[in-house]
Amino acid sequence: MKWTQAIDRDDKLIPGCIVCEEGYRIARFVVDGERKFRASFKGEFICHPEPSLREVKAICERHHQINKKPGA
């Protein structure tokens, strides 16, 4: 998956958010001073907040492999 910085409807960058062509979005936020990442697909969260961006990207990869349509 190729990740890029998310942009809004006015073509402005959305800080702390990356997206990929497959429809996944990862948001970065801070809880009690700790950086966390959480992935969503089509507006639905697919994991709990995680401290590792690498792990959340891997969760998206696995989700995509499990849910992709045959022949796609």
Does residue 36 carry a pLDDT above 90?
Answer: yes
pLDDT tens profile 57-71: 999 999 999 988 776
Residue 69 has a pLDDT of 76
Q: What is the pLDDT of residue 68?
A: 82
Question: Does some domain include residue 56?
Answer: yes
Number of folded domains in the chain?
A: 1
In a domain, 72, yes or no: no
Q: Is the pLDDT of residue 10 over 80?
A: yes
Secondary structure string (H, E, C) spanning the chain: CCEEEEECCCCCEEEEEEEECCCEEEEEEEECCEEEEEEEECCEECCCCECCHHHHHHHHHHHHHHHCCCCC
15, part of any domain: yes
29 in a structural domain: yes
In-domain check, residue 52: yes
Q: Examine residue 42 and state whether it is found in any structural domain, yes or no.
A: yes
Residue 21 belongs to domain spanning: 3-67
Average pLDDT in the 34-53 region? 96
